[in-house]
Amino acid sequence: MTKFSDLNLSPKVLKAIEEAGYETPTPIQAGAIPHALEGKDVLGIAQTGTGKTASFTLPMICKLARGRARARMPRSLVLCPTRELAAQVAENFDTYSKYVKLTKALLIGGVSFKEQDILIDKGVDVLIATPGRLLDHFERGKLLLTGIEIMVVDEADRMLDMGFIPDIERIFSLTPFTRQTLFFSATMAPEIERITNTFLSAPARIEVARQATASETIEQGAVVFKPSRRDREGTEKRNVLRALIDQEGEACTNAIIFCNRKVDVDVVAKSLKKYGYNAAPIHGDLDQSTRMKTLDGFRNGEVRLLIASDVAARGLDIPAVSHVFNFDVPSHAEDYVHRIGRTGRAGRSGKAFTISTPRDEKYFEAVEKLIQKEIPRIDNPVKSAPAPAAEPEEKPEARSDEGESRSRSRTRSRSRKDEPRNDRPERSPRADRGDRSVRNDRPERGDRRGGGSNVVGMGDHMPEFIALSFDERRAS
């Protein structure tokens, strides 16, 4: 069995790994680290939760230990799709580089530009960033990418989903072509394949699992139910969710509950709190400090149920998640793999349950087609309530009368079109300008004492020659 000591890592890095409690590398780590240490480009394809982060952080630390950073010119760059994943990568660097003198900067939204500028001006060995914030610094003239020796793109398929591919291509063009590129993704869409063919040079392809597969340590299940009424679908889905959580009992030590929309995240979190569950929401509309506080609370056990949008579906390393609940079937099948990959990590066992309604049928079929496996159906844990009393059926005569009534109503409405509309409420002369039967009580222009000929709709500003023509027409 391969050990970290067999991968030619530096003694200082091995010491940090040992203190972190790791002895045996995962397959993606064992396959990628030797090639990365040799300076080759690496294309890593592995399902989420297999340790891709350490696959690039460990060789980067070993290579960057030799050299020195210059002001505004970082030596390496790690691109991440979300703030949370970027912060997690930064934590990994802190863990593994504790005995190596390396500096780093974390460039993410929600943090002051000034603080980040100070770090960049001092010079950093490792720059960890989201694409948008990185380009913001570059366009402000605070950052140069011409000194990049190693560039990492993490969760590339998530970058594609979030629309970052044009930014990634631009960033590639700003870095030296002599750089070493480490490219990691859980799936390989055609657009991702195109980028790797364009920007990677003869990469070592490390694929440790079939693309878009779920870990075998995860027990999957799906509750398929039909709501009693369309307008009660949300309420009944929340009932099913609570019943599933209660059914798991103490085995559900903590869980992530995924929703497709941010508004549903807030609704589900509020509902669970109302029924006494320890729950908290996390999504992209929350400010960064709240998101980090919520994640920290979930990691240390202060929060049992984390209700999340797909912002938390990719890359977050929270090892001890016992359950994942899909409140909604994801509209993109690949997201299912990433969602349930939050549990069953690093060889642990986990459970993932999905709630599906008839409107989710096509998305559910797409998920099963992608993972090439049928998800077992489980019984609805909500006890069947007695069916509501059926409303009395209308007699044929009643329906016939109703039809005749509607027919007569339509006939009357058609006949009324030709009738004069005399039933309208009386309006003021100024408002009813199109009805000539109403007389204007205002005096003619130049005659404030009243009298004279009045013309509807013209007020007291009508030229006299127009009044004459109206009078002649009325007389005829």
- DSSP lists the bridge partners of residue 256 as 306, 324
Query: What's the angle, vertex CA 367, arms to CA 52 and CA 31, rounded to 5?
Result: 20
Nearest to 220 by CA among 362, 382, 329, 360: 329
Can you tell me whether residue 258 is helix, strand or coil?
Answer: strand
What are the tokens at 197? 């063919």
- 129, containing H or E segment: strand 126-129
What are the tokens at 349? 């066992």
CATH 3.40.50.300-classified regions of the chain: 4-207, 218-371
Nearest to 303 by CA among 314, 311, 289, 292: 292
Interatomic CA distance for residues 276 and 242, integer angstroms: 11
pLDDT of residue 475: 54
- 78, containing H or E segment: strand 76-79
Interatomic CA distance for residues 340 and 349, integer angstroms: 12
Can you tell me whether residue 390 is helix, strand or coil?
Answer: coil
Q: 78 with 128: CB under 8 angstroms? A: yes
Q: In this structure, what DSSP letter does residue 360 have?
A: G
- DSSP lists the bridge partners of residue 280 as 306
Q: What are phi and psi of 205, to 5 degrees?
A: -90, 120
Q: In this structure, what DSSP letter does residue 384 have?
A: P
CATH number of 4-207: 3.40.50.300
What are the tokens at 455? 């013309």
What are the tokens at 198? 């364009």
pLDDT of residue 339: 87
Q: What is the pLDDT along the chain (476 residues), one digit of tens a residue?
A: 688 989 999 999 999 999 988 889 989 999 999 999 999 999 998 876 678 899 999 999 999 998 888 888 999 999 998 888 898 899 999 999 999 999 999 999 878 899 899 999 999 999 999 999 999 999 999 999 999 999 999 988 888 878 899 999 999 999 999 999 999 987 788 888 999 999 999 999 998 866 566 777 889 999 998 999 989 999 999 999 999 999 999 999 999 999 999 899 999 999 999 999 999 999 878 887 888 889 889 989 999 999 998 865 565 667 789 999 999 999 888 888 888 888 887 667 899 999 999 999 999 999 999 888 899 999 999 865 444 444 344 344 444 344 444 444 444 444 444 444 444 444 444 444 444 444 444 444 444 444 444 555 555 566 666 665 555 555 55
What residues have CB less than 8 Å from 275, skipping those under 6 apart?
Answer: 242
Q: 288 with 133: CB under 8 angstroms? A: no
Counting beta carbons within 10 angstroms of the beta carbon of residue 207, is it exposed (0 to 12), middle (13 to 18) or buried (19 or more)?
Answer: middle
Can you tell me whether residue 329 is helix, strand or coil?
Answer: coil
Report the top-level CATH class of 218-371: alpha beta
Q: What are phi and psi of 149, to 5 degrees?
A: -100, -35
Nearest to 14 by CA among 104, 75, 99, 89: 99
Counting beta carbons within 10 angstroms of the beta carbon of residue 106, is it exposed (0 to 12), middle (13 to 18) or buried (19 or more)?
Answer: buried
